[in-house]
Amino acid sequence: MPHSKRRIALPAMTPGTGRSIAVHRFGRAGARPKAYLQAAIHANELPGAMALHHLMPLLAAADKGGRIKGEIVAVPTVNPIGLSQLAGSNHLGRYDFLGRDNFNRNWLDLSGAVAERVGARLGRDTGDNVAMIRKAALAALAAMRPVNELQTLRVEAMKLSVDADIALDLHCDLEALLHLFISRQDWPGPARALAADIGAAATLYNDPFPEALTFSGVNGALWARLARRFPAANIPQACLSGTIEYRGQHDVNHALGAADARNLYRFLVRRGIIAGRAGKLPRLKADATPIGGMDVGYCPKPGMLVYHLPKGSRVRKGDAVCEVIDPGDARGPKARTQMLSRTDGILFSRKPDGRLAWPGAVAYRIAGPKVLAHRVGMSGLDD
Ligand SMILES: [Zn+2]
């Protein structure tokens, strides 16, 4: 079946306006395996949209040649609400203006609704369970009557993703190496091939699954939550769901976009969604580490942020990563507050120099192998 494009209309929030989401489908609807890829739910994060810009022509050519065995749904900019957030020559795009929600939180945990619909019928047969759960999840979404634009966006995006075998949410950071957030359920398993194929310099897993209701969190955790709720039934981890952070916000160019598209394509071949030979798995750049081992540098006070280390640096516990300078303090070096790493690991994410710091603002993230006492109980992704 040829490549098709449709638009999902969102309800107008103010008279005279109306937004929609463009959805591309490759392969045959209902064919397996199914992959769902979306970008820019944080609408100011466009490297993923660039990867899909380069991937879609490859998929269209494969489709034309009859090489797509499963189904691939691609949504290059899933959040037209965030895309429209222009304010004073700045594009925002991370938080909803109306309810102040982070766009990548408060997605729908469907495990309760699925349990109500089919819980009593889940049994020993893995295939039957997967089919029943997917059908029930779609029925639960179909029964929802979202009123506003953002809730409609969430329900509609999940109708596209919740029955997928692979759901990838493409984001980026401010200044970062390519990294990946996954669930422990998928590691090493299918997430290891994903990390190797996309060239992830750091992979962080939630253990056993993300508690935060991020998009990739709810799609993957549906299975884990149901498996926990119905221990006697055979419920597999039927969806590999991950958040790919495609470096920094300004890392949008044709060379990176084309390379990222080729890597995603190879992964889709490796998973049997597209016919062909994926070839040897690229060398894994870094073993996965627990989210609980991720040191997040929260600024202790307001000021100017200046870094000592570039992204990608290997750091030791106690190393100074950056400093917050109080511009109103005349004492020179004494006006500088150092922020020290609390783990050995890789500095995979930071901000650009010269950003304004405020108490609690995230200045950096370091992936370390050992769970840190101060991180236990933290869900992982910080706003
Ligand atoms: Zn994001």
Q: What is the pTM of this model?
A: 0.97
Cα(190) to ligand 1 centroid in Å equals 23
Q: What tokens appear for 132 in the block?
A: 């029943």
Cα(328) to ligand 1 centroid in Å equals 33
Cα(45) to ligand 1 centroid in Å equals 6
Q: What tokens appear for 96 in the block?
A: 């909803």
Q: Give 202-239 pLDDT, tens digit per residue.
A: 999 999 999 999 999 999 999 999 999 999 999 999 99
Cα(176) to ligand 1 centroid in Å equals 12
Cα–Cα distance, 41 to 28 (Å, whole number): 25
Percent of the chain clearing pLDDT 70 (strictly above):
98
Q: Give 128-140 pLDDT, tens digit per residue.
A: 999 999 999 999 9
Cα(170) to ligand 1 centroid in Å equals 8
Cα(225) to ligand 1 centroid in Å equals 24
Is the pLDDT assigned to residue 377 strictly greater than 70?
no
Q: Give 59-81 pLDDT, tens digit per residue.
A: 999 999 999 999 999 999 999 99
Cα(298) to ligand 1 centroid in Å equals 18
41 near 171, Cβ under 8 Å? yes
Q: What tokens appear for 274 in the block?
A: 């597209």
Cα(362) to ligand 1 centroid in Å equals 14
Q: What is the CA angle 203-270-219, rounded to 5?
A: 55
CA 241 to mean position of chain CA atoms: 8
Cα(357) to ligand 1 centroid in Å equals 19
Cα(242) to ligand 1 centroid in Å equals 12
- Burial class of residue 151 (count of CB atoms within 10 Å of its CB; 0-12, 13-18, 19+): middle
Cα(172) to ligand 1 centroid in Å equals 5
Cα(134) to ligand 1 centroid in Å equals 26
Cα–Cα distance, 374 to 170 (Å, whole number): 28
147 near 158, Cβ under 8 Å? no
Cα–Cα distance, 249 to 64 (Å, whole number): 33
Strand partners, 367: 294, 346
> What is the reported pLDDT for 379?
53
Cα–Cα distance, 355 to 378 (Å, whole number): 25
Cα(234) to ligand 1 centroid in Å equals 33
Average pLDDT of the segment spanning 87-105: 97
Peptide bond into 76 cis (omega under 30): no
> What is the reported pLDDT for 374?
83
Taken as a whole, the chain contains a residue count of: 383
> What is the reported pLDDT for 160?
98
Cα(275) to ligand 1 centroid in Å equals 31
Cα(69) to ligand 1 centroid in Å equals 30
